[in-house]
Amino acid sequence: MKFTDRVNKVKPSFTLEMTSRAAELKHQGFDVVNFSAGQPDFNTPDNIINAAKKAMDDGLTKYTPGSGMIELRNAVCKKVKRENDLDISSEQVLVSNGEKQSLYLACQSLFQRGDEVIIFKPYWVSFPEFVTLSDATPVLIDTSSANNFEPDISQLEAVKNNNTKGVIINSPSNPTGAVWSQEKIIEILKIAEENDWIVISDECYERLVFDGQNIISQKLADDNNIKANIITCMSMSKTYAMTGWRIGYAFGRVEIIKAMSKIQGQATSCANSIGQAASIEALTGSQVEVENMINKFKKRRDYMVKALKNIPEVSCPTPGGAFYAFPNFGYYIEKSFKEKTISNSFDLCDLFLNEGHVATIPGDGFGAPGYVRFSYAIDEKTIDEGINRVRKIIDKIK
């Protein structure tokens, strides 16, 4: 069977692959410690589940307007006012089947062949693929843990050319958990304004910030009188433990939202009606469970970072947000375990999985050789068990 260049070019999601390998081992009866999860381990709060049940009983089981129920788009406006201190109108909002679809649609609407889009390493695996699927070219910029994974503006100056159309930012970040400084985001917004680049700001972890208050890019732009063209993408998935419900949203200039909505209308019609009704409750109802979850994640972050730092020759910056730690295991690359060379972080993570039944995600897949992503969407006791197993393997590496 001959497939299109599009299929041949796009890479499968290797994070999903690691998760399925861990699930397979578990299915075979092994006691797997899973640090690979990209989702909260908590269940969706009851008030949200009850809203979904009520929606079904009330017959909200039909197609909704393509860009989302007006009640949900209004709820997004209320949330954005309450939490992000921004005034937006419902026309500026698009509700999608998960934020992933909003991000995909933004790239489909704004980029095409010949365009270049700047992405920072380590990147969330889907960013380069979204750009590639729009036929544009991802331009990757290195960052380092010593600088909180923030780029230097001279790096953006060095890669920019007449084809540069946009930049994708993601703070707090998956995979690093880094929360970029406001100054850095402002610098990037300014260069975007000067060069007329679109900024796609993936803010799906905006609520999961543990030290101080997070200010989203659009607010930073407004407060500093920067007129950069920003598409903000947010998700119900992480904040409300709603990954399976598949609801996310984007807001930005009306004409861009309309363009995205036009493609969505042909691709999937609308997001699911029950998930949308539940999301209204999530955004406008009690936020107590969200606060509880944030507090738990903060404790686990400290626990996880301490445990990882105890592994010899491993360094681990303290992530400011999300639920990932991103330690550097570079010291162990090119060393061997039972006579077999560990050539990269894929080999190292294979070792953790096969020898210790510990699932992690190799940094190489995020453009970060030597690093490994550990999710702490898992309780402290299990963190202990998993890190002990890793430690035992590490002790045998020569």
Q: Among 124, 251, 332, 352, which residue interacts with ligand PLP (rule: CB under 6 A)?
A: 124
Q: Does 232 bind ligand PLP (CB under 6 A)?
A: no
Determine phi and psi for 202, rounding to 5 degrees. -85, 105
Fill in the per-residue mask, 84 to 113: x = in contact with ligand PLP (CB under 6 A), - = not in contact: --------------xxx-------------
Q: Are 233 and 99 in contact (CB under 8 A)?
A: yes
Q: Are 94 and 248 in contact (CB under 8 A)?
A: no
Q: 42 to 81, contacts with ligand PLP by CB under 6 A?
A: none
Q: Among 171, 229, 237, 264, which residue interacts with ligand PLP (rule: CB under 6 A)?
A: 237
In whole angstroms, how close is the CB of 174 to ligand PLP at the nearest point? Answer: 4
Q: Would the CA dihedral through 48, 53, 57, 61 be positive or negative?
A: positive
Report helix, strand or coil for 187.
helix
In whole angstroms, how close is the CB of 123 to ligand PLP at the nearest point? Answer: 9
In whole angstroms, how close is the CB of 197 to ligand PLP at the nearest point? Answer: 20
Q: Among 122, 138, 151, 248, which residue interacts with ligand PLP (rule: CB under 6 A)?
A: 248
Q: Does 235 bind ligand PLP (CB under 6 A)?
A: yes
The whole-angstrom separation of Cα 367 and Cα 120 is 9
- The token duo for 295 is 């507090």
Q: Does 287 bind ligand PLP (CB under 6 A)?
A: no
14-27 vs 345-356: helix crossing angle, rounded to 10: 10
In whole angstroms, how close is the CB of 336 to ligand PLP at the nearest point? Answer: 33
Q: Does 177 bind ligand PLP (CB under 6 A)?
A: no
Residue whose CB is less far from ligand PLP, 120 or 332: 120
From residue 211, give the alpha-carbon distance in Å to each of 172, 322, 323.
Answer: 12, 12, 13
The whole-angstrom separation of Cα 91 and Cα 204 is 21
**Interface with ligand PLP (CB under 6 A):** 38, 98-100, 124, 170, 174, 202, 204, 235, 237, 243, 248
